[in-house]
Amino acid sequence: MGAQVSSQQRSRSRSRPRSGSDHGEVLSVHSSDNWNTLFQNSRSSNKLMVIDFSADWCGPCKFIEPTVHDFADEFSDVDFIKIDVDELPDVAKDFDVKAMPTFVLVKKGKERERIVGVKKDDLHRMIEKHRF
């Protein structure tokens, strides 16, 4: 059995110095137990969590993935979490996810915004709005 939580770091085409390993990191969650722990911990934190609900077979999800990594690099003060809806269908159901990609912005355990589809500018604006 493999790791239940993994981080993905995308190699960037343009070179830019990194001040730490958390830049560009998107945490992939692979078990309900790990998700529940992360979500419970986020309730007591003022840190914004961006949950990316996606699927391996989803073309638009693959298209926006580099942008999500760019945002994780830009907004190192925000937690970026990736949930595969086929791997964790109960989590997707709890958040009433009906299409992919769906981005749910959560702070202190409460949903602040939701964006469905490949809407890079809207997602960027919403992160800016809710990160502090």
pLDDT of residue 37: 94
Q: Is 59 within a domain? A: yes
Q: Is 29 within a domain? A: yes
Where helices occur in 5-119 by DSSP H, the ranges are: 32-43, 59-74, 89-94
Query: Which percentage of the chain shows pLDDT scores above 70?
Result: 82
Q: Is 121 within a domain? A: yes
Q: What is the pLDDT of residues 97-113, one digit of tens each?
A: 999 999 999 999 999 99
By annotation, the residues acting in catalysis are 58, 61
CATH number assigned to the domain comprising residue 85: 3.40.30.10
pLDDT of residue 54: 97
Which comes out higher in pLDDT, residue 118 or 18? Answer: 118
Range of lowest pLDDT (19-28, 43-52, 54-63, 80-89):
19-28
- pLDDT, average across residues 77-105: 97
Q: Is 36 within a domain? A: yes
Distance CA 107, CA 50 (A): 9
Q: Is 8 within a domain? A: no
Residue among 35, 28, 34 nearest 94 (CA): 35
Q: How is residue 123 written in tokens? A: 């997602």
Range of the domain at 33: 23-130
Distance CA 59, CA 111 (A): 26
Residue 51: in which H helix or E strand, if any?
A: strand 49-54
Q: How many CA atoms within 13 Å lie on the side-chain side of 102?
A: 18
